[in-house]
Chains A and B, each alone.
Chain A
Amino acid sequence: MSEHPIRLVVSDDLERDRLTAFFRWLLAIPHLIWIALWSIAALLAAIVNWAATLILARSPGWLHRFLAAYVKYATQLYAYLYLAANPYPTFDGQDGYPVDLSIAPPARQSRWTVALRGLLLLPAALIVTALTGAPGGTTSFRRQGSFSLNFGLLYVAAVLAWFAIMARGRMPRGLRDAAAYALSYGAQFWGYALLLTDRYPNSDPLDAVPDLPARADPIHVRVDDDLRRSRLTVFFRLPLAFPHLVWLVLWGIAALLAAIVSWVATLFTGRSPAWAHRFLCAYLRYQLHVYAFLHLIANPFPGFVGRAGSYPLELAVAERQRQNRWKTGFRLVLLIPALLLASAYGTLAATVALLGWFSSLARARMPRGMRNAGALALRYQAQTFGYALLLTDAYPYSGPVRAGVAEAGAGAGEGGGDEGPLASASPAPERPDTPGALPDVGLT
């Protein structure tokens, strides 16, 4: 398939100025006023553009330029606000910003998709909400006193990045790429909404960000799924997963006890006991299989024992290694940022599962982009749980990574490396991409 007409261009060097990062939202006030005004004009222009495109089957050049500049400027501003880029942006969305957009000139559009654009936008709106959050984030307090937050991946990544930048003066690569993924989807969403293109937003994280790193994390996920889905098992996916969920809870209790023993042992000996490592690896693998089945990231009904090599989404965990006692001792505290991000990824996985359910029922296939988005979310969650269960002391890598070779146990990989709360794991050289090693998957 050809490239998407709206592409993110990233030339950011990850360096951040602590002072401007600290006051980022205050510094952006003039921009926020300006974008509010520009948004009103863009709304009016979008209405005119819709009518014109419906008649001409092509967006008029001047309207396209105006709206493209608006989307470009908005992306630059959001990249600045959410710390995905460092320099103060211009007010007209000029080319050359470290997180920029390339938007193709107007092309012919199907009148049907133009007429029904408002309806067609709905599924993408759900994904864009999971990635960038509802505008400003939503908080709903229910009667019982519980509450739910939906700030989206972009917001959570920015909050975590803010602390990392304050400590290190540098944006962690994984968080930057996670934010860039959200920005890329958001730009394509708005480009589609404003009729800059009739290509649907692409939810594939591998296509969203250029030059993704290939990493060899101690915990990684190999995807060997052909995207085919059985309509019958898709329709009944939730009740079919029910016995697995019950078993997962029971196994989870044993895993929790094993993790506590392992924590004490690792604190004293610097290594988790071999039996605990094996037991917890099997649990984590099983959990991944069940979640992949439940979220439609894979098709077959998984086994109940988490057998290695039995499932299209395969978890690879490095042999047990020596672990830093400080990181072990403070594991619960260190986990908090990863859990926040895992929760944001969880929202993404649930959204993908919901949309994938309809799509798989209609086409007996899971869209590749959604499958890869879900696999990214599950990989991050698996790394987080693996870190919690003391299978490794390498911090979860929060961004998408390129398809390629990945050997367990090689330590954390390149690219500005790991974004542990304040520390980075041992770096390993970036590995060359190996085309064809894992053909359509890419999420190692």
Chain B
Amino acid sequence: MPGARAAWQSALARPARSSLTLLALAAFAALWALAAHALWHSTVPSGLRLAHVDPREMFSARFLARSSSYDRFLQVDALLGQLTLVVVLALYARRGHRLMRESAAGRIGTGMMLGMLGFAVLWIAEVPFGLAAVWWERRHGISHQGYVSSLLTSFLSLGGKFLFVSLALLLAMGLAGVLRRWWWAVAAPAFAGLALLSSFLSIYLIPNTHPLRDRQTTAEVRELARVERVAGTRAEVQDVKRRTTAPNAESVGFGSTRRVILWDTLLDGRFPRDQVRVVIAHELGHIAHHHILERVGWLALFLLPAAGLVALFTRRRGGLARPEAVPVALFVFVLLQLLSVPLTNIVSRRDESEADWSALQATHDPAAARALFRNLATTSLANPDPPTWTYVLYDDHPTIVQRIAMVDAWQARGGR
């Protein structure tokens, strides 16, 4: 009775396999949680209580109404854009494979084309929302960019996006061709590795930058970098004033490529020197606390389950080794990314708080920090106290009132 024996063995093997899978998943979840815990670490005192700050005490009623209306439009526009994106991608996931007839490339080449066309369709769907945002920003004097120039810039930037999606699909589909169902286990760390490389090289990809020319600011960068124990970090200026009036700064790279990038709109005289100093200290704080590397760590933690889910959902189309699975993969991946935005915002806000704290510790100038946050709100028309839903969905920085409350809390602790 070989048939009965095989069935009996199979019946025995099934629960064993299920148990093994469960065990593996549990181990994976435990490791994931351990890694997340390690990344969650912050130097902001854990017991820090932020007092409520009433925005009406710091901003005029007119400004609060204006910034609230400005923010609301942009956020509703963004929300509608995202809903459209999901609908369009869902449709593309169903029907996108029909575009395979437009390809003479092989398996991976066709997959790349379908991936790029997915982004192309998204671009078309998002044009009205992008133009509406430009219109609104121009109306409020935040953006100087023309409609045609904005369209052209976003169209031409598709080249870079297409290159990125092609490389990603080359890697994922190449691995799927060799490893079949388990491609994601190798692809996720590989993508994280590429993200690390791209973070390292990001300084070379930022357009219109030049070294900081102002001697006094350069000296301040040097001094603050020494205080924050990241001596040798340089600052560069990015020219953006042709398209926007909004001020900003960022820190990029790590190791020998770490830099602080200051937008020229921050150095145009609207921000006094002591406020610029706080901005520089804030960005150096990101570098001092290795936030860029931590972001790559978080990305790796996101990618592992995300790639696993993509592998799972593309099985019905024959797995990611087949080009017809690419539209589905794109949909699943983008959807997961959208769903994870509130979580990544939490992580981002935590990093920004730590950088603010670090800036206060380095500058010991709460008055400048408070004035900076007020100035940032007024120059970029940011709502100092946005509604909860926009805070959860869109704010990757603490709100202005939270940042001012942190300054108060730092001062209340005696500047320690």
Contacts and interface: CB of A to CB of B under 8 A. Distances in A.
Interface of A: 230, 232-233, 235-236, 238-240, 242-243, 246, 289, 299-305, 307, 310-312
Interface in B146-178: 155-156, 158-163, 166-167
A238 B159 contact: yes
Interface string B346-370: 0000000000000000000000000
29 contacts: A230-B99, A232-B99, A232-B121, A233-B113, A233-B117, A235-B120, A236-B158, A239-B116, A239-B120, A239-B156, A239-B159, A239-B161, A240-B117, A242-B159, A242-B160, A242-B162, A242-B163, A243-B116, A243-B162, A243-B167, A300-B102, A300-B105, A301-B105, A302-B104, A302-B109, A303-B109, A304-B108, A307-B106, A310-B104
Please classify how large the interface on chain B is, using the bins under 10, 10 to 19, 20 to 34, 35 or more. Answer: 20 to 34
Contact of B109 (A233, A236, A301): A301
Contacts of A233: 99, 102, 113, 117
B19 interface: no
A304 B111 CA distance: 12
Contacts, number: 71
B332 interface: no
B43 interface: no
Contact of A304 (B102, B105, B116, B158): B105
B110 interface: yes
Nearest to B157: A239
B42 interface: no
A240 B162 contact: yes
The 9 tightest CB contacts between A and B, nearest first, are A300-B104, A303-B105, A242-B159, A239-B158, A243-B166, A301-B113, A301-B103, A236-B120, A239-B159
B112 interface: yes
Contacts of B158: 236, 239
Contact of B117 (A232, A302, A304): A232
Contacts of A289: 104
A236 B127 CA distance: 14
Nearest to A233: B102
Given A242-B162, A302-B109, A236 B102 contact: no
A301 B159 contact: no
Contact of A236 (B103, B117, B160): B117
A301 B162 contact: no
Contacts of B108: 304
Contacts of A310: 104-105
Nearest to A300: B104
Contact of B103 (A300, A305, A307): A300
B159 to A, nearest CB: 4
B214 to A, nearest CB: 28
Interface in B93-150: 99, 102-106, 108-110, 112-113, 116-117, 120-121
Contacts of A232: 99, 102, 117, 120-121
A105 to B, nearest CB: 46
B105 A302 contact: yes
Interface of B: 99, 102-106, 108-110, 112-113, 116-117, 120-121, 155-156, 158-163, 166-167
A444 B262 CA distance: 57
B102 A299 contact: yes
Contacts of A238: 159
Contact of B104 (A230, A240, A312): A312
Contacts of A236: 116-117, 120, 158
Given A236-B116, A239-B120, A303 B104 contact: yes
Residue of A242, A310, A312 contacting most chain B CB atoms (<10 Å): A242
Q: Is the interface of B mostly helix, strand, loop or mixed?
A: helix
A300 B100 CA distance: 9
A147 to B, nearest CB: 25
Contacts of A239: 116, 120, 155-156, 158-159, 161-162
Contacts of B162: 239-240, 242-243
Contacts of A311: 104
A246 to B, nearest CB: 6
Contacts of A302: 104-105, 109
Given A301-B109, A301-B113, A243 B163 contact: yes
Nearest to A236: B120
B171 to A, nearest CB: 13
B405 to A, nearest CB: 45
A12 B105 CA distance: 45
Contacts of B99: 230, 232-233
A242 B155 CA distance: 12
A304 B166 CA distance: 11
Contacts of A312: 104
Residue of A230, A239, A305, A312 contacting most chain B CB atoms (<10 Å): A239
Residue of B104, B109, B113 contacting most chain A CB atoms (<10 Å): B104
A295 to B, nearest CB: 15
A246 B104 contact: no
Contacts of B117: 232-233, 236, 240
A242 B112 CA distance: 12
A348 B166 CA distance: 30
Contacts of B156: 239
B161 to A, nearest CB: 8
B52 to A, nearest CB: 49
A19 to B, nearest CB: 53
A137 to B, nearest CB: 30
Nearest to A298: B104
A230 B121 CA distance: 13
A289 B112 CA distance: 16
Given A232-B121, A240-B120, 17 more contacts: A233-B102, A236-B120, A238-B159, A239-B155, A240-B162, A242-B163, A243-B116, A243-B167, A299-B102, A300-B102, A300-B103, A301-B105, A301-B109, A301-B110, A303-B104, A303-B105, A310-B105
Contacts of B116: 236, 239-240, 243
A381 to B, nearest CB: 20
A96 B109 CA distance: 55
A111 B112 CA distance: 49
Contacts of B163: 242-243, 246
A301 B155 CA distance: 19
Contact of B112 (A243, A299, A300): A243
A303 B108 CA distance: 9
A296 to B, nearest CB: 13
A299 B32 CA distance: 46
A173 B254 CA distance: 63
B113 A240 contact: yes
Nearest to B124: A235
Nearest to B103: A301
A229 to B, nearest CB: 9
Contacts of A301: 102-105, 109-110, 113
A369 to B, nearest CB: 23
A233 B117 CA distance: 8
Nearest to B114: A301
Nearest to B116: A240
A176 to B, nearest CB: 36
A100 to B, nearest CB: 43
A232 B100 CA distance: 12
Contacts of A230: 99, 102
Nearest to A229: B102
A236 B167 CA distance: 18
Contacts of A240: 113, 116-117, 120, 162
A365 B353 CA distance: 57
